[in-house]
Structure 1
Amino acid sequence: MSKKKRISLFRYWTTRYLITLCIGLLVIGVVSSFWITYSETQKRLDIMRLMAGEISDRIVESQGKLKMDPFLFRILDRRQESLRLNYKPFLLILDAQKRPKVIAPGPVPVELARVAVQIVDSNDNATQVKLERGDELLFVKKSIQANQQHVGWVILFTHQKDITRSTTEFQLLFIMLGSLGLLGWLVIYLLTKKLAQPIKDVADAAKQIVMGNYEIHLEKNSREDEIYELIHSFKEMADRLRQLELMRTELLAGVTHELKTPVTSISGLVQAVKDDIVTGEEAKEFLEICTKETTRLQKMVEDLLDFNTFAVGDIRTRRESQNMGDLVQEITHQWRIGQEEERLELRVEKPIHEITTVTDPMRIQQILYNLLNNAAQAIPGEGRIEVSLSETPQEILIEVTDNGKGIPEEEQSFIFDRFYRGEEKKQIVRGLGLGLSFSRMIAQSLGGNLLLTKTSTEGSTFTLILRK
């Protein structure tokens, strides 16, 4: 399959903008040409009406007869000079019997005389006539009145093609369109170049990330909001990818260490029992340690398998109607019994009235167990864990609060990431860092969410939100 040849963003859009600009200016030029022609035609007709009116007023003698003096030609010449006309209308005067009396300049063509009779006989408002030989003429006619009587007509003709010979307006139009085209191309060129540069910078930065270099430098001081958001989001993505890459490296080392430690311990203890290095009660103790290490190793493998299942969204739930107060009381009681240490005080607060909803009690237990275990790990010595149940018109809230050291600000945005463990927790607690990530995915599968709602040096609060 052949690949289409790709061109740069700058060239692509500049070319298309230029084509669009040229088409637009061409359309404007055509429309403007028609408008100029129409305006010039109307202006010429108005001048001819003015001239025809002046001639009709001066051509009548006091006795009501037509006065055929040479001054008629001087009127045409003066108007041509004063109005700076580049044409001279053809003058034709008809008497009351429609006979030609005055023609200027030159003799009247037979066809024009016949057309003049047709014009005065017509009652429409036409201003254009076409001769048999194909010439198109513009005309105006003016009735000559004397003593309230009609004594003749003044008709002025001019060739339609003479209008196009007046090139001043068209020259100005072409100059204007050419200037607009040049200005438009220059603006498009500069704007496209300015727009393409940050996109090119982001594309180059993306290539660096593909090659494994996350230390990218992009100009963040763009005044355009969209460009700023693009660069800012891309920079945040790069920082996030760098953090994830570090987490992946740490995860590989951590998982290898976490799995290797119990395997090495089991191997050494079993070998000692096998070689009779230890016997009797000591051998039984070694085997008990092996059993615990095997259970812990099995739990890690189950967590990894659950992670793969949860990651693809395959979280199965069995929903049933539950009294949330009784459910929370039962889960916290079971967790407290499973704790070997008595250093922690566990308090449960719930409203007097019943709060019921349809949910999966086993999944709720998984979430609360993770939250309670994390709360216990966050308290270095004696401390207190509080579990409170409340509701709003749309939601049910279960809050787990501890009085531990809290979560550092730089780690708060990562605590729900898979395999993430805080720096201090890595040194104290062994595990894969999947608890909070699993818990949030379970909560979302139930139609709710899990949030860190408060943390400080005096403790942290996680809130499980369930929809009613």
Structure 2
Amino acid sequence: MFTKKNEPVSLLRYWTTRYLLTLVVGLLIVGAVSAYWIKYAAVEKQIEVTKLFAEEVADRVVDDDGNILVGGKLHQTLDNRRKFMGVDRNLVLFIKDKQGEVIYSRPGMGMLPPEIQKVLPGLLQQADEADKIRQPTGDTLYVIRKNLEYNDSVIGKVILLFPETDIKIGREQLQYLVIMLGSLGVLGWAVIYFHSRRLSEPIQNVVLSARKIVEGNYDVTITKPIKEREIHELVYTFKEMADRLRQLESMRTELLAGVTHELKTPVTSISGLVQAVNDEVVSGAEQKEFLEICLRETKRLQKMVEDLLDFNSFAVGAITVQQEEQNISKLVKEIASQWRIVQELEGIVFEIVVPEKQLLLFVDSGRVQQILTNLLNNARQAVGKAGARGNIQLVMYETEHAVCIDVKDNGNGIPVEEQPLVFERFFRGSNKKDKVRGLGLGLSYSRLMAKALGGELVLASSSEQGSVFTLALPLPKRAEAGASEHETGGGKRI
């Protein structure tokens, strides 16, 4: 019994929750990567703009004679250009002469931030070599350098410093990122929910149908097409199982009625006849006839009980077969001859076609006789009573891997809708229910025996012209591959 902690949840909730968690983790990773890329792009953009500003400064401070102009008007000019180019931030500008001396700074030396003033000499020395400088406070400064040139000679240098904290990601970019990730999240959740619901729907239908079966209702209707192969196979296999259970339930009901009727009839007959003899209602020859009828009915009742016990024992594997090497040709002839002797075959042609050559198989002769006798009895019932023009054939032939024995009749055949059920236990065809007494175990029992012998019993064909049942017994494995030959030999009609 499930505790509340371990209580199972619905397929829709289970997979939607896990898909959603996976989606959220994926979007967080995408968001982190996107934010890093936006930050990187913003840094690159600011560096490019600052480089353009450095080139602008270099062009303005060098005159046509190669002099570096750092007069009072330079402040206003640089401030205007800085605002125009979008570099209006905590930008520090130094201009050095040819000897490396700082001849100009913006802001002025006395207006520089205290943390820069303290480390200015070392800061300028690092700025000549590195593109990034880490201050003692932990802040990072980006460095942009531009040489002042005149007639291909370096006459000075422009150095621009700006802190990394000044690089801001645009609000619009963040908004777009949030909107994009939010939209993907909602869309992804909607898709996951829709597909999980569509996946769980047919499975839920199977669950509901299973509950109906538990309650004894085997009518499972599935009309909606399913495109997924695995779900389609699951649903329709379940439907076939339900149909099979319905058939078995129907046969079980018929079995109860059939067994009750079949066992009750001889018991009632015996009881009435014995009562008549006991009460001396009859005497003499009639009394003897009554006792003979009782004996026949008793044997018939005994045979039914034995069939039930044998089938049950064989079905649970309690009966073994004793396989010995037999000349199957001789064995089949003997079985057919014995059956013909005890049958009333007036008006019925019985033919036996068996190869003359010796065919050795490992079989249980008793089980083979039981199978063939049952098949021949069924064929006898199919062709009708004595006087009817019927034909029964027993034909044996050899294939590549087996010896096959066909039992053919020219009866009315088995209805198409009943053919898949002929080997079901307790199944009796519509043409037998009211005509032939029995429990419907013969063919089921025979097939079990055939499988125990390593072979197979099948309904090869059936139509209005008759039926053919085939017993296939495997040939022993030969020493050399390919040594098997397809030889049927001449047949002998008896």
Unaligned runs of 5+ in 2: 476-494
Q: CA deviation at 1:150?
A: 3.9
**Aligned match for 1:116, one of 116, 124, 139:** 124
Check 1:91–1:329 CA distance in 2 against 1; reply closer, same or farther (3 A cut).
Answer: farther
The correspondence of residues 310-459 of structure 1 with structure 2, limited to 5 A, is: 310-351=314-355, 353-380=357-384, 381-459=388-466
Q: CA deviation at 1:62?
A: 4.8
Measured in 2, the distance between the counterparts of 1:415 and 1:332 equals: 23
Structure 2 match to 1:90: 92
Check 1:256–1:133 CA distance in 2 against 1; reply closer, same or farther (3 A cut).
Answer: same
TM-score after normalising by structure 1: 0.88
Structure 1 match to 2:255: 251
Task: Output the amino acid matched with 1:294.
Answer: T
Structure 1 match to 2:311: 307
**Superposed CA RMSD:** 2.9
Structure 2 match to 1:297: 301
Task: Output the amino acid matched with 2:104.
Answer: V
Q: CA deviation at 1:173?
A: 1.4
Measured in 2, the distance between the counterparts of 1:436 and 1:156 equals: 101
**Aligned match for 1:465, one of 445, 450, 472:** 472
**Aligned match for 1:101, one of 90, 100, 103:** 103
Q: Which deviates the most, 189-198 or 15-24?
A: 189-198
Structure 1 match to 2:22: 20
Check whether the contact 1:343–1:383 (CA below 8 A) recurs between aligned residues: yes
Q: How many residues are matched?
A: 463
Q: Which deviates the most, 258-267 or 356-365?
A: 356-365
Task: Output the amino acid matched with 1:464.
Answer: L
Unaligned runs of 5+ in 1: none
Check whether the contact 2:352–2:395 (CA below 8 A) recurs between aligned residues: yes
Q: CA deviation at 1:247?
A: 1.3
Measured in 1, the distance between the counterparts of 2:108 and 2:301 equals: 120
Measured in 1, the distance between the counterparts of 2:79 and 2:313 equals: 100
What SS does the aligned partner of 2:167 have?
A: helix
Q: CA deviation at 1:228?
A: 4.2
What SS does the aligned partner of 1:424 have?
A: coil
Task: Output the amino acid matched with 1:323.
Answer: N
Q: CA deviation at 1:295?
A: 1.8
Check 1:266–1:96 CA distance in 2 against 1; reply closer, same or farther (3 A cut).
Answer: farther
Check whether the contact 1:375–1:402 (CA below 8 A) recurs between aligned residues: yes
Check 1:387–1:46 CA distance in 2 against 1; reply closer, same or farther (3 A cut).
Answer: farther
What SS does the aligned partner of 1:213 have?
A: coil
Measured in 1, the distance between the counterparts of 2:456 and 2:146 equals: 91
Measured in 2, the distance between the counterparts of 1:323 and 1:76 equals: 117
What SS does the aligned partner of 2:351 have?
A: strand
TM-score after normalising by structure 2: 0.84
Check whether the contact 2:127–2:143 (CA below 8 A) recurs between aligned residues: no
What SS does the aligned partner of 1:138 have?
A: strand
Check whether the contact 1:220–1:232 (CA below 8 A) recurs between aligned residues: no
Measured in 1, the distance between the counterparts of 2:84 and 2:471 equals: 95
Measured in 2, the distance between the counterparts of 1:266 and 1:221 equals: 58
Provide the identity percentage: 49
Check 1:135–1:280 CA distance in 2 against 1; reply closer, same or farther (3 A cut).
Answer: same
Q: CA deviation at 1:133?
A: 0.8
Q: CA deviation at 1:216?
A: 4.2
Measured in 2, the distance between the counterparts of 1:212 and 1:226 equals: 27
Structure 2 match to 1:288: 292
Structure 2 match to 1:194: 198
What SS does the aligned partner of 1:47 have?
A: helix
Measured in 1, the distance between the counterparts of 2:127 and 2:121 equals: 10
Q: Which deviates the most, 315-324 or 87-96?
A: 87-96
Q: CA deviation at 1:353?
A: 4.8
Encode CA deviations 1:321-357: one digit per residue, 9 max, x unaligned: 3333233223222222232333432223344554443
